[in-house]
Structure 1
Amino acid sequence: MKIGIIHEGKNPPDKRVAFTPEQLAEIQETFSGQLTVEVQSSTIRSYTDEEYRAAGIQVVEDISSCDVLFGVKEVPISSLIPDKTYFFFSHTIKKQSYNRPLLRAMLEKNIRMIDYEALKDEKGVRVVAFGRWAGIVGAYNAFLTYGKKTGLYDLKKANECYDLEELRTELEKVQLPPIKIILTGRGKVGKGAREILEMIPIREVSEASFRNDYFEEPVFTNLDSVEINRRKTDGSFDLHEFYTYPERYESDFQKYTEVADILIGASYWDPRAPRLFELKDIQSEDFAISVIADITCDIDGSIPTTQRPSTIAEPVYDVDRETMQEIPAFSKQSSISVMAVDNLPCELPREASSGFGEQLREWVIPALLLDYAPILERATICRDGDLTLEFMGLQDYVDGKE
């Protein structure tokens, strides 16, 4: 088997790659006689062609001789090679209308599409993701935003840092008054965000202490579903019921908005579940939050001040408390500054690529060499010109009926 690493063709360019040079060299050595590796030449990725050559990996212009092709973002339709197996984030599983032509093209070109988002273990837990790095960069951007809003310090943008070590050095500039910070979510994204809070470092306190006590230092609390939602009928909480019937619950988040200064949103949100707060709530004098870093970036989602994604070039916009409309970043001291970059791992592409490649090395490469691998079968959207049984629910989407 020959596997190939494609150059990214989507605009704006993405500097991430599925595997680092060292990882490919190790894979090629470990599975010698079973697979070989080629890397398609690229001038934009965070690891240069020269770094791959130095690791003993062949760099080529034409990658059509490879059997299995790994990318990161969606492959442009014009670049798709018929009859190949592709791995990338297709953004079709949720029936995204803008990628309907891509899925149609893969069906027409007889491509086997294995989507990273669908790679899950037997318990249904995703095994390949950039979540940790979204959390790290998103939380870093929260403090970048706070520094610019208050004028207390000035951080480089994350994408201007060479690596995590330089980002860590930048954090030494952070000087905070005794503010209170909320982090929502305890998954991979939340754990990544927590790394930044611990680097600064900021002390963690219980949610009760966060709400009721005064501190002479900055503190944070880490909230999950149980702390921020309550059953409509009696104010209690049952985790299984919440996951199954989230519409039976209402937000209990207001008691935190009255005391918090920064919100870092890193928790998954089901559209049937209540929002953390409603947009009109920001008009209240009791709404104390002034900086929101929405790592989830769900438009019109759990954090309603996220009115659109922001960009790496312009990561922040403000929302006026009175009009509830977007205004330029930091143009009004009383407004809420929102960071909602939707491709955060791109800001630390070398580290993000390394972490991603480690996951692929563990879960995907060995599976590729098996005659039958359940983890790959469950993640295969289409093959042989048809949707797989797992994804037959996409047929109306492909046909343009929904």
Structure 2
Amino acid sequence: MRPVHLWLRHETRSTERRAPLVPHDAARLVADGVQVTVEESPQRVFGIEAYRAGGCRVVEAGSWVDAPEDAHILGIKELPDEPDSLRHTHIFFGHAYKGQDGADALLARFATGGGQLLDLEYLTVDGRRVIAFGYWAGYVGASLGVLATRGTLAPLHPMERAELDALVRAAGADGMTALVVGAQGRSGRGALDALISAGAILDGWDREDTLVLDREALLDHELLVNCVLSTTAQPPFVGPDDLTAERELRVVADVTCDVTSEYNLVPVNTAITSWEEPARRVAEDPRLDVIAVDNLPSLLPREASVAFSADLVPLVPTLAGRRGPWREAQRSYEAAQAARA
């Protein structure tokens, strides 16, 4: 069997500085016989020379379109709109299996080119994800929620954790009531840690606590951090009727950010927010702001990348044979394509 060939592509989104494979882990894979090609990237938090020093082959940004047929193209966020057909196996967060915007177009590109999507979200064992940026998404989302609640949230930029923590301390969360839903998942744990560190008055609900929703209790918190990814219909956490209701709730940090899905649990918001304007006002009296930034861990690109890469590397030996979590990701892709037929 030929060695696995991983091709780390440049991320075209200007705010995306994370890397799913960091230099020291890439060097480990090379030492184990994996072929690793890395595209140059001006915004990636890790310099290209660190990859080169580890034995990786370095190529121009965007050259994955001409990569050998057996290369597995590794990334994080969306692909550029071209080419129209995709002939490689791509590994990234495709957001294409639940009717999201652009989902059908992406799947059609794979069908036309004969390639395959191994969506990182669907690498699972017994239905549970084995790799995710979730912890840092929750940590950042909750931190931004504190800043928005206190009225100090500014346009975003990549930083180190120490800088983010200092901003939260300066804003102050003493006396702030906060609720994390999905508290036992990766994102939820990150959100809890951030809010505990900030000194908020904190509640944490897991999925079971929302099956029969205590809406009055939910709306009695100043800050809601949503870390629940729903795959079935259920009552929303914050719906249109809540905009004019008597409530303490002032900010929703929608970490899940499933804004274009029919299972969106915060349907008062139907679009992502940007780094330039991270919060959107959806109600004035009483006010309600929603944070729906869809690449929150990129605010802490170094910490997020190191943790994610450490989870990815042990999975690489089973990639070629599509064993374990890779088999589940392949089945999810095949089911999505079959549903289109």
Scaled to the shorter chain, the TM-score interval is 0.7 to 0.9
Structure 1 match to 2:204: 222
Q: 1:127-163: per-residue Cα shift (whole Å, max 9, x none)?
A: 1222112101100110111222xxxxx46665342x2
User: Following TM superposition, by how much is the alpha carbon of 1:107 offset from its aligned partner in structure 2, in angstroms?
Assistant: 2.3
Letter in 1 for 2:172: Q
Q: 1:283 to 1:136 in 2, by over 3 A?
A: same
What is the Cα deviation at residue 5 of structure 1? 0.8
Residue deviations 1:68-97 (CA, integer Å, cap 9, x gap): 221112323535886533212222222435
Would you say 1:380 and 2:330 are equivalent positions?
yes
**Mapping of residues 214-293 of structure 1, within 5 Å:** 218-230=200-212, 251-257=213-219, 259-285=220-246, 287-293=247-253
AA at the equivalent of 1:112 = Q
| Secondary structure of the structure 2 residue equivalent to 1:320 | strand
Gaps of 5+ in 1: 149-153, 203-217, 231-250, 323-333
Give distance in 2, aligned partners of 1:269 and 1:4. Answer: 32
| C-alpha distance in 2 between matches for 1:277 and 1:156 | 24
How many angstroms apart in 1 are the aligned matches of 2:15 and 2:103?
17
Q: Distance in 1 between matches of 2:193 and 2:155?
A: 17
Secondary structure in structure 1 of the residue aligned to 2:150 = helix
Contact 2:297 2:304 in 1 (8 A): yes
Question: Equivalent residue of 1:37, what SS?
Answer: strand
Find the partner of 1:294 among 245, 248, 254. 254
Secondary structure, counterpart of 1:380 in structure 2? helix
1:23 alignment counterpart: 25
The higher radius of gyration belongs to: 1
- Of the candidates 144, 147, 150, which is equivalent to residue 144 of structure 1? 147
The superposition leaves residues 327-350 of structure 1 with CA deviations (integer Å, 9 ceiling, x where unpaired) of xxxxxxx41222222221222222
- Give the match for residue 46 of structure 1: 45
2: CA distance, partners of 1:173 / 1:297: 27
Q: By how many angstroms is 1:394 displaced?
A: 3.1
Cα distance per residue 1:295-343 (max 9 Å; x no partner) = 2234383234324321121011222355xxxxxxxxxxx4122222222
CA distance, structure 1, for counterparts of residue 248 and residue 72 of structure 2: 52
Q: CA contact under 8 A between 1:181 and 1:263: conserved in structure 2?
A: yes
2:174/2:201 contact within 8 Å kept: no
Separation of aligned partners in 2, 1:185 and 1:27: 34
Distance 1:255 1:14, change over 3 A: closer
Shift of 1:189: 1.0
Partner of 2:310: 358
* Local SS of the residue matching 2:128: coil
- Provide closer, same or farther for how the CA distance between residues 290 and 120 of structure 1 changes in structure 2, counting only shifts above 3 A: same
Q: Could you say which residue in structure 1 is the equivalent of 2:188?
A: 190
Q: CA deviation at 1:365?
A: 0.8
Matched, 1:127 2:90: no
Residues 213-239 of structure 1 deviation map (CA, whole Å, 9 limit, x = unaligned): xxxxx4111122444443xxxxxxxxx
Structure 1 pair 93–277 and aligned structure 2 pair: CA distance change class (3 A): closer
- For the 8 Å contact 2:156–2:276, the answer to whether it is kept is no
Contact 2:257/2:292, CA 8 A, preserved across alignment: yes
Q: Normalising by structure 1, report the TM-score.
A: 0.73
| 1:310 aligned counterpart, secondary structure | coil
Task: Tell me the equivalent position of 1:338.
Answer: 290
The letter for the 1-side match of 2:309 is: G
CA contact (8 A) 2:257 2:293 kept: yes
Moved over 6 A (4+): none
Checking the alignment, whether the CA contact within 8 Å between 2:147 and 2:168 is kept in structure 1 is: no
- Secondary structure, in 3 states, of the residue corresponding to 1:337? strand
Selected match of 1:98 from 90, 95, 102: 102
- C-alpha distance in 1, partners of 2:154/2:283? 26
C-alpha spacing 1:105/1:172, structure 2 compared with 1 (3 Å): same
**Residues in 2 aligned to 1:227 and 1:113: alpha-carbon distance in whole angstroms:** 34
Provide the rounded CA distance (Å) in 2 between the counterparts of 1:156 and 1:54: 38
Residue 262 of structure 1: CA displacement?
1.8
Q: Aligned Cα RMSD in Å?
A: 2.7
Identical positions, percent: 27
Q: Which amino acid aligns with 2:24?
A: E
Q: Any conservation in 1 of the 2:318–2:326 contact (CA below 8 Å)? A: yes
Match in the other structure for 1:320: 283
